[in-house]
Structure 1
Amino acid sequence: MFPKFSPARATIPALVVGLLAVLLILYTWRLPPFTSSVQTTDDAYVRGLVTVVSPQVAGYIVDIPVRDYAEVREGTLLARIDDRIFQQRLAQARAQLSTAQAALANLDVQRRTKEASIEVSRAGIENAQAVLTKAQADERRLAPLIEANIQSRAQGDQVRAALRQAEAGLAQSQASETVAQQSLAETLATRPSLEAAVQNAEAAVHLAEIDLQNTRILAPGNGRLGEVGARVGQYVTAGTQITSLVPELRWVVANYKETQLAGMQVGQPVTFRVDALQGAQLTGRVERFSPATGSEFSVIRADNATGNFTKVAQRLPVRIAIDAGQPLADRLAPGMSVVVRIDTASAPAPAGPAMAQD
């Protein structure tokens, strides 16, 4: 005889399963009573200052002494462009500078010559003044004698003619001085343009020197190179990517949902696990928050005023400084994925040693 089936006994397992399912959902979504002060996100990555190295001048590459992923120091030669044309341009600029300087020096010679001409004209004026004074004296002495018929009128005509010549000579000497003064003024007026020509030639020399220096592409800082994309014999122009330089500076950017930000403060301790290091855990601290969500920095911004609206939690980037003294920190590379955990209930830690920041 079979036992009588009881509906109450069948309901109990179903209720237990349902309760467990509800509890699992609440735990998964961190809803009460499973709320936690620890905020976690896997939308986080290692970041670094990746610098694209490009030439400033155009030309053919003649030497690339470095290789992919090499460690370099600031000033290390990465590539060299054929500099023969730039050397000739520098020589040409220096020759033009010499010409401009010679023209300016010649102006000083001309100035001294014109000043000497003025002195000669002044001496001529003094001589003409002396001749005029003598002629005037002769005319005054001879006039009474002619009136008294002691001297002939022909002699008087000669004296008066000499007086007129002396007056004309003085006027000519004075005009010569005026001409010499004007010539000197014209010469001095050309000095600003000649000085400007010298300055322009000096600037051209400096530009040619800069272009010649730029044929040597140097590392802008310490770090490791990415892939070297240039080849010997390749023609490059300004802006052509030669390689990339990744400095030692590292940090983490965690994109937290806006609903997770309550309680987060600058200085709070952070732990994060790195996928590439088999989940190894490292530490850091909250350094600063982005001034806007990621959507505000997108090229095409969303316009919620059009069409149907669906509210979506936005994410705010949080920059995390990596604590110094962690051996595994040297193995971090920009772009690595990490999982970040921040306990919003913890107090901000005092400023401690961290990896060098920008």
Structure 2
Amino acid sequence: MSDVKMDAPTDKNKHRSEPKGSDKGKDDKKDEQKPLPWWPFVLAGVVVAGFVGVVLWIVFAPQPDVWTDDAYVMVHYATISPRISGQVASVDVADNQVVKAGQVLVTLDPRDDQTTLESAKAALERDTAQVNNAAANVARQPSLITEQEAEVASAQARLSFAQSDQRRYGNLAATGAGTAQQRQQADTTLRQDQMSLQSAQAALDASRRQMDVLKAQKSAQEGTVKADQARIDQANLNLSYTRILAPQDGMVGEKTVDVGNNVSPGATLMTVVPLDLVYIEANYREVDLRHVRGGQHVTIHVDAYDIDLDGVVDSVPPATGATFSPIPPNNATGNFTKIVQRLPVKILISPNQPLARLLRVGFSVETTIHTGLENVVGEQDNAAARVTAH
């Protein structure tokens, strides 16, 4: 029994008796040393190169569509303010109310202005009567002048007679036929008639000059009447200013007035926003405007309602946004850093779009101008007018 057991080796001993350099171990090493396939690396390289090419194309290739999200809904609205001071008698509109041009917005107390108007009318009537009186004096003066001319003629006749008497009595006195008393009386009469003639001539000259005085007085009174009429016109204007009207169609906003307020000229009472005249102000970088000109189609995306509207480029502005800032940049006073400027391009809303009524001033929008890569530089080179203006 013991011999048999010793001659029959076990499985464990068989396993241990296998040589280390067997064929199975060689096959495993050959499998581990197989080269990796090359096509994944080629595919990855193609993908990376394509991605880089697309990025470079997007960055450097000219794009027919230029986009910006720095754009807002704008409008030129009317600020409503009184032209005269007064107390508010009534406010005839409410916040956000749609109004028409000429509609009464606010009424001021008209009694003070009505009293001023009546006083001006009374002054006009008084001064008109004075003009009529001056006109009557001017009309009467020619008769007085004629009367003075007759007096001068009468004085000249008397003087002529007195001169004849004086010569006659002088001759008689020289021959002894007349008395000295008669000669003295003739001389006295001559001097009196000479003085009477001078007085009549002076009165005639005064009457003629009085005509100029009367005409000047009449002109002055007529000027006063014109001033009275101007005061009446101003009083009528002030009375009309007590009714503050809407200057255009629109919607009431920023209303700050109420009944009983005392207002002064220029104080803001409310605004009237013409929503039918809104436009888009899109701030494009200057390098994006190479192919932009008026008349190009624009797609407007309204963030508030997630809708798209159609528009058209109106014009490119005359200056950048920084030019009109309260403190414009002055690059000559310090270290210069070049910064790409933006220009607020004006874009009009195309008509016949019901959704455009949803726009409100101040909304943020995104605009895409479809330029078609127009040759703006070449067109301007051959045109006398500015092709990027109206």
Alignment TM class, shorter chain as reference: 0.7 to 0.9
Match of 1:81 in 2: 108
The answer for the alignment partner of 1:31 in structure 2 is 59
What's 2:279 paired with? 251
Alignment partners' CA distance in 2, 1:169 and 1:253: 93
Aligned residue number for residue 130 of structure 1 = 157
Structure 2 equivalent of residue 185 of structure 1 = 212
Give the CA deviation at 1:4. Answer: 5.7
1:223 Cα offset (Å): 1.7
TM-score for both structures, normalised by structure 1: 0.83
1:217 is matched by which residue type in structure 2? Answer: I
Distance 1:227 1:144, change over 3 A: closer
How far is the alpha carbon of 1:183 from its aligned partner?
3.1
Deviation, structure 1 residue 171:
2.0
Partner of 1:94, secondary structure, is helix
Preserved contact between residue 262 and residue 344 of structure 1 (Cα < 8 Å) = no
Paired letter, 1:260:
D
Q: Displacement of 1:341 after TM fit?
A: 1.0
Give the one of 290, 302, 309 matched to 1:262.
290
In the TM superposition, what are the counterparts of 1:169-208 in structure 2 within 5 Å?
169-208=196-235
Q: CA deviation at 1:304?
A: 2.7
Q: Distance in 1 between matches of 2:99 and 2:90?
A: 16
Residues 93 and 105 of structure 2 are in contact (CA less than 8 Å); yes or no, is this contact kept in structure 1? yes
Contact 1:111-1:188 within 8 A present in 2 as well? yes
- d(CA) in 1 for partners of 2:34, 2:125: 115
- The AA in structure 2 aligned to 1:36 is Q
Please state if 1:115 is matched with 2:155: no
In 2, distance between residues paired with 1:163 and 1:93? Answer: 60
Which residue does 1:97 correspond to in 2?
124
Residues 292 and 374 of structure 2 are in contact (CA less than 8 Å); yes or no, is this contact kept in structure 1?
no
Is the contact between residue 55 and residue 240 of structure 1 (CA under 8 Å) also seen in structure 2?
A: yes
Q: Helix, strand or coil for the counterpart of 2:70?
A: strand
Partner of 1:297: 324
CA drift of 1:146 comes to 4.8
Q: Answer yes or no: is 1:326 the counterpart of 2:364.
A: no
Aligned residues: CA RMSD: 3.4
Amino acid at match of 2:233: H
Aligned length: 347
* Counterpart residue type for residue 105 of structure 1: N
Deviation string 1:283-333 (CA, Å, 9 cap, x unpaired) is 111110011111111111122334444332211111112211111122222
Q: Which of these residues, 193, 213, 233, is aligned with residue 240 of structure 2?
A: 213
State the SS of the aligned residue for 2:301.
strand
| Deviation string, structure 1 residues 34-90 (Cα, Å, up to 9, x no partner) | x63221111111222211111111111001111112221111100011111111222
User: Any idea what SS the aligned residue of 2:291 has?
Assistant: coil
Name the SS of the counterpart of 1:233 in structure 2. Answer: coil
Q: Deviations over 1:88-122 (max 9, x none)?
A: 22222233333333333332233334433322221
The counterpart of 2:76, out of the listed 30, 45, 49, is 49
Matched, 1:72 2:99: yes
**Aligned counterparts of 1:252 and 1:5: Cα–Cα separation in 2:** 69
Structure 2 spans left out of the alignment, 5+ residues: 1-27, 376-389
State how far apart, in whole Å, the 1-side matches of 2:241 and 2:34 are. Answer: 92
Structure with bigger gyration radius: 2
Kindly provide the CA deviation profile for residues 132-169 of structure 1, in whole angstroms up to 9, marking residues without a partner as x: 23333444455555555555443444344333332222
Partner residue in 1 for 2:88: 61
1:271 counterpart residue number: 299
Call closer, same or farther: CA 1:285–1:130 in 2, change over 3 Å.
Answer: same
**Contact map agreement 1:57 1:214 (CA 8 A) in 2:** yes
* Alignment CA distance shift 1:40-1:109 (3 Å): same
C-alpha contact (below 8 Å) 2:78/2:273 kept by paired residues: yes
Distance 1:5 1:231 in 2: 94
Q: Secondary structure at the match of 1:41?
A: strand
> What TM-score, normalized by structure 2, do the two folds share?
0.77
In structure 2, the partner of 1:354 is none
Deviation at 1:20, TM superposition (A): 5.9
Aligned equivalent of 1:313? 340
Q: Report the counterpart of residue 352 of structure 1 in structure 2.
A: none
CA contact (8 A) 1:135 1:159 kept: yes
